[in-house]
Amino acid sequence: MVTLTPANAAISTLETQTFTAATEHGTNSAVTLKVDGITGGNAQVGVISAAGIYIPPPSAGTHTISATSVEAPSISAEVTVTVALLRGVLTHHNDNARTGQNLEEKVLTPANVRSTTFGKLFSWPVDGSVYAEPLYVADVPIAGQLHNVLFVATEHNSVYALDVDDPQGAPLWHVSFIDPANGITTVPFEDEASPPAYTGPGPVVPGGCADVDSEIGITSTPVIDAAAGTLYVVAKTKEQINGSIAYEYRLHALDITTGSAKPGSGRPLRAAVRGTTAPNDGHGQVLFSALLQNQRAALLLTGNVISIAFGSYCDIYPYQGWVLAVDATTLDAVGQFNSAPNADVGKGGIWQSGGGPVADGNGNVFVATGDGPFDAGTGGNDYSDSILRLNNGALGVTDYFTPNDQQSMGETDTDLASGGPLLLPDQSVGPPHLLLSAGKQGVFYLINRDDMGAFQVGSDSQIVQSLPGEVCGAGSCPIFGAAAYFNNRVFVATAHGHLNAYSLTDGKIAPAEQSTNVYRWPGATPVISANGTSDGVAWALETNGGGEPAVLHAYDAANVAHEIFSSNENSARDNPGPAIKFGVPTVVGGKVFVGSQFQVSAFGLLH
């Protein structure tokens, strides 16, 4: 007789499963273990060791594990294992709702994330500053082996594929989008602070801008299509060819196994809409200008469409908030949107402190816009200081919300686009589909995304809730970054304030508790790791505007007043390197990855 346990197992692509075969002669004694009839299995169905340890393949599916008695080959037992695709961290803040939560973290818990048991394990050098959030895919087949891979993009216009289990090894692959010998380089920041090549109509307001350090290449977080095995990334280049200078944003599509470019990769981004603002072709067309636009917001992939959003470098005019939509297969343009096509100098930028456009399951895309003109309430098409719902692909405005004090927000530079929208899970009380957003004003807007409320003179009573946030001085603390969600709680780290937790009850939020430590400007974008609804840890990266050593903080997600780890406790061991403002840690597979200037650090359990 042969028995095999467990009878039915369900794991993700990041996990292993131990199967125990018992015969009348003892556990795992003289049996042949197979996966889908293949002795020992293989990379396509998963492999199983003689000890019964099953390593799943990188794709989802159901497989049969069998144990056959060597002594009596006619006697065997079979069980099934269901492998769910752990998507890894494929986009900024973990998902298209931008919740920031990874609910498949089996290793890190509030009990073991302590300075005595948890800390920095190693660092990789890279060739530039890492403004983009690192992305992660498990079990990537590279050179005949499966690798757990961290993908890192730098301002030096490089993308690295790093094996997280081989910190001393060379990159699995490295791609650069510059070619200095042929005049293709990153963009010196001085070119953005005082644009040298802009000769179109409208003013250019230079000087005093320190938005990105030293050079500009890849600023936004890429996005990965795991099913297609493709990483999409936008790189900015200065191209000096035959005596002329051009500035370009190019969308690249890379094979995650090799780094090789896919068809259509590297095509420059182009757009034009009807309008009067600069830069203009003189015939009523507002032109997209790569020189003047800042592609800070993370990329969004929903359906087969990539959405790419733009704002400004500081407030160097003219610029607008743009969203460009591209077919993910062909890389052809399919849609475009401009938030302020008829203003004197544009404005209405979409930057969201690095957070990306947000998408629901019905083909709706949501963005927050910054300071500038607003006339949509009277039939116009300028949408500054608003939260917009766009249809996926064509990018037409289908609904919006604009605070009643939009004009004063613009006059005092308290725009909405410093924060990004968060889509909350369906609610059983009140409107089921809610969106939460906040910006420099520090006020939370909880909006029914099926009926967003548009603009109302005198008050915001048409939305579900308007709630002032943490108090700093005479008003609410500003918010630069995205909120996170976990277990009916919302987490927000304010500038000059704390990491705040809010309870979500009956479709509304209310303050709960806050951290004991204070975050200087610009605050932080928290993320959550948990095993389902258990063992939640809230993580936040303190950057203090960039340049100083970054500080990684961890809190018990059930009570953020309980800080469980800070890299300052043992700074000699745990310093992640010089900080990048708006940096976001990536938490997955028992490790925490932190990008900084010219390096990426990995934190985990100490051995």
pLDDT digits (tens, 9 = 90+) for 425-476: 999 999 999 999 999 999 999 999 999 999 999 999 999 999 999 999 888 9
Q: Does any domain span residue 297?
A: no
Question: Which tops the pLDDT comparison, 181 or 242?
Answer: 181
Strands (E), 36-75: 38-39, 41-42, 46-48, 53-55, 61-69
- Reply yes or no on whether the pLDDT at 190 is more than 80: no
Over residues 15-32, the pLDDT tens digits come to 678 899 988 766 556 899
Q: Are 504 and 489 in contact (CB under 8 A)?
A: yes
Q: Are 61 and 325 in contact (CB under 8 A)?
A: no
| pLDDT-derived band at 203, boundaries 50, 70, 90 | low
| pLDDT at site 418 | 96
Q: Would you state the structure tokens that stand for residue 81, as one six-digit string?
A: 């294992």
Enter the DSSP assignment of 260. P
Helix (H, G, I), strand (E, B) or coil at 180: helix
H/E stretch holding 158 reads strand 158-163
| pLDDT at site 547 | 82
| pLDDT-derived band at 207, boundaries 50, 70, 90 | low
Interatomic CA distance for residues 454 and 357, integer angstroms: 19
Split into its structural domains, the chain has a count of 1
| pLDDT at site 497 | 96
Looking up residue 17, the CATH number of its domain turns out to be 2.60.40.60
Q: Are 478 and 442 in contact (CB under 8 A)?
A: yes
HSE-up of residue 416 (Cα within 13 Å, Cβ side): 31
Least confident among 2-11, 83-92, 284-293, 409-418? 83-92
Whole-prediction pTM? 0.87
Q: Which residues in 510-537 are b (16+ Cβ under 10 Å) and which e? A: eebbbbeebbeebbbbbbbbbeeeebbb
What's the rounded mean pLDDT across residues 348-376?
Answer: 95
Over residues 364-373, the pLDDT tens digits come to 999 999 999 9
Interatomic CA distance for residues 49 and 232, integer angstroms: 36
Contacts of 248 (CB under 8 A, 6+ apart): 236, 237, 239, 268, 269, 290
Nearest Cα to Cα of residue 489 among 104, 112, 101, 114: 101
Interatomic CA distance for residues 483 and 368, integer angstroms: 14
| pLDDT-derived band at 13, boundaries 50, 70, 90 | low
Q: Is 325 exposed, middle or buried, given 0-12, 13-18 or 19+ CB atoms closer than 10 A?
A: buried
What's the rounded mean pLDDT across residues 412-431?
Answer: 94
Strands (E), 164-203: 173-176, 184-185, 187-188
Q: Would you state the structure tokens that stand for residue 79, as one six-digit string?
A: 């069980």
Q: Does any domain span residue 595?
A: no
Contacts of 208 (CB under 8 A, 6+ apart): 193, 314
| pLDDT at site 83 | 80
For residue 37, give its domain range. Answer: 2-84
Indicate if the alpha-carbon torsion angle 139, 306, 345, 243 is positive or negative: positive
DSSP β-bridge partners for residue 493 = 499, 524
| pLDDT at site 481 | 95
Strands (E), 403-498: 422-423, 434-437, 443-448, 454-455, 465-468, 471-472, 475-476, 484-486, 489-493
What's the rounded mean pLDDT across residues 477-494?
Answer: 97
Q: Are 590 and 105 in contact (CB under 8 A)?
A: yes
| pLDDT-derived band at 196, boundaries 50, 70, 90 | low
| pLDDT-derived band at 10, boundaries 50, 70, 90 | confident
- Reply yes or no on whether the pLDDT at 12 is more than 70: no
| pLDDT-derived band at 84, boundaries 50, 70, 90 | low
Interatomic CA distance for residues 23 and 6, integer angstroms: 15
What's the rounded mean pLDDT across residues 90-97?
Answer: 96
| CA–centroid distance for 224 within its chain | 10
Contacts of 378 (CB under 8 A, 6+ apart): none
- Map 373-401 to HEC letters: CECHHHCCCCECCCEEEEECCCCCEEEEE
- Reply yes or no on whether the pLDDT at 243 is more than 90: no
H/E stretch holding 605 reads strand 597-605
- Reply yes or no on whether the pLDDT at 346 is more than 80: no
Nearest Cα to Cα of residue 238 among 193, 189, 295: 189
Chain position carrying tokens 């947000």: 358
> Please, what's the largest Cα pairwise distance for the chain?
88
Least confident among 186-190, 287-291, 393-397, 582-586? 186-190
Helix (H, G, I), strand (E, B) or coil at 416: helix
What's the rounded mean pLDDT across residues 491-517?
Answer: 97
H/E stretch holding 245 reads strand 244-255
Q: Does any domain span residue 48?
A: yes
Interatomic CA distance for residues 481 and 421, integer angstroms: 10
What's the rounded mean pLDDT across residues 39-64?
Answer: 86
Q: Are 363 and 374 in contact (CB under 8 A)?
A: no
| pLDDT at site 222 | 98
| pLDDT at site 95 | 94
| pLDDT at site 213 | 76
- Reply yes or no on whether the pLDDT at 590 is more than 70: yes
Least confident among 45-59, 107-121, 166-180, 436-450? 45-59
| pLDDT at site 141 | 87
- The per-residue pLDDT of the chain, averaged, comes to 92
Q: Does any domain span residue 442?
A: no
Q: Does any domain span residue 30?
A: yes
| pLDDT at site 29 | 63
Q: Does any domain span residue 21?
A: yes
